[in-house]
Structure 1
Amino acid sequence: MGKFRCMGFADDAVQGAIDLKDPKRIVLEYQSSLISLMEFINPYFERVFLIGHGIGTIAGHYPNKLFTIAEIDESVVDISRQYFMYERNNVKIGDGRQLLDQEEQSSFDYIIVDAFTDKGTPHHLKTLEFFALTKEKLDSNGVLLLNLMGKTNNDWLLNAVNTTIRNTYDYVKAFSLPAVAERDERNIIVLASGKTLDAQAGDVGKGIVEIQLSEGHTIMDSD
């Protein structure tokens, strides 16, 4: 329930939503799940690199944390300020991978990938070379979080991401958010770290289940 304002792109997918009667409320379930994971794994985190601004929900939820946000479309940032009350000055305009490459090594507690085109997560944010870059930029206890879209069974792309990321990180977990039907695509949150990940489905949110992704091919920049 609520009075909502949403931002969406041409494919009708909702990229951000705000409850105008309660602007601090986290409306979208996947964002609430990401926040729950971040606070469970490391409630004392300080620095986050986020690829994909949307309306600024996650960074706006943490006014006292140091967020660096990469957003490729400047108009998205303008819309977040004009219609969704985003007030912080921490967004860099440009390609997220290129901007991350410019950051110092071992400088982030979390790196979050929440970037989409009409074809899903951009290819260059799913490759072996990209995951190696994220590991360089995280500190020794840091965690990579990816918001992906896919199916829980026999999803060849998710399986490929799983295999690719395991070539870089020792510990990987995947959580599925609910969908209307079993075969429907839904948000899949993948976590990766060099340290043990103790998060369980109950730590993420109601209706969330941990899933085991299968093996697939390794995704390379040259693919």
Structure 2
Amino acid sequence: MNILHRQSSAYEQIIVYETDRLYGEKGHFRVLQFANTDVQGALDLNDPQRIVFEYPRAIIHLLEHNVQELERLYIIGQGIGTLGNYFADRDVQIAELDVEVARLSVKYFGCNAEHILIGDGRGILSMQPDQHYDGIVLDAFGETGTPLHLVSMECLYLMRSKLHDSGYIIMNLIGRGPNDRRLHAIYTTLCEVFAYVQCFQLPVEKNSDVRNIIMMAGSAPIRYQLRQMAGFTVMQPEIAYVLYDE
């Protein structure tokens, strides 16, 4: 491992490094990682256009398969800017709470600083015009997972008001599948706000294992081709409780 940068921000301890092996794959990778070992993104230096992780590939498929003319996209959570870079030819706004994450994504991963807005994603979204976006992507995490105020009933109604009638919200979540009551609650809350909700998960060895979960919601049916979902399979959460602002 070759460490390029290490620092503490107001929210995280951040490391940028290069490595010849990532999750068992040999190559040449540049990685943004938090001190709790959570990898926020990786760039394949041998093929910079390649999207390394499965979840952004699945999100791209869902957006492109459901939104015929994707023009305006709002993303909460910058990471290394994978989605922002992919949709760089569209009107993309990215809300990032941590100014150091934003700065490092520009310096080490080639992101366009003009797309990035520093601040809380919900607060920034509240100031945007109604029915403005074709898609809203939530990809933000704190120490305990996705922050409550970004998945509450109140926030989801806000998101719905900012989407076109044919727009969608997509969430990248981390959880334990059937054993994760918080994930069931997020699903339940989405069902209260949107007419259509679809969930997907990456396969794991045991039900108790942590895995990536994608939830998509909108006012129109959700279409997908499973072979284009980068290994994600359909998941059906249980109906649980509704999440409200504290």
Whether 1:121 and 2:146 are equivalent positions in the alignment is yes
Q: Which residue of 2 aligns with 1:210?
A: 234
Q: Matched residues in 1 for 2:172 and 2:158: separation?
A: 18
Distance 2:91 2:239 in 1: 36
SS at match of 2:149: helix
Q: For residue 89 of structure 1, give the secondary structure of its aligned residue in structure 2.
A: helix
Offset, 1:167: 0.8
> TM-score if structure 2 supplies the norm length?
0.86
Deviation, 1:88, is 4.4
| Matches of 1:2 and 1:43, distance apart in 2 | 35
2:245 is matched with 221
Q: 2:162 aligns with which of 122, 129, 137?
A: 137
- Partners of 1:17 and 1:97 in 2: how far apart? 26
Letter in 1 for 2:89: N
Instruction: Please say if residues 84 and 111 of structure 2, whose CA atoms lie closer than 8 Å, have aligned partners that are also in contact.
Output: no
Contact 1:175 1:201 in 2 (8 A): no
* CA drift at 1:11: 1.4
Within the alignment, does 1:104 sit opposite 2:145 as a pair? no
Alignment of 1:1-223 (within 5 A): 1-205=26-230, 207-222=231-246
Which ranges in structure 2 are unaligned for 5 or more consecutive residues?
Answer: 1-25
Q: Give the match's secondary structure for 2:57.
A: helix
Decide whether the 8 Å contact of 1:146 with 1:191 is kept in 2: yes
- Counterpart of 2:169, as a letter, is L
Superposed CA deviations along residues 153-209 of structure 1, whole A, max 9, x for unmatched, are: 13200111111111100100000013344421111000000111122533422x321
RMSD of aligned alpha carbons? 1.3
Give the total of aligned pairs. Answer: 221
CA–CA distance in structure 1, aligned partners of residues 206 and 32 of structure 2? 25
Decide which structure has the larger Cα Rg and report it.
Answer: 2
- In 2, the alpha carbon distance for the partners of 1:47 and 1:215 equals 32
5+ residue gaps in structure 1? none
**TM superposition outliers: structure 1 runs of 4+ over 4 Å:** none
SS state of the match for residue 195, structure 1? coil
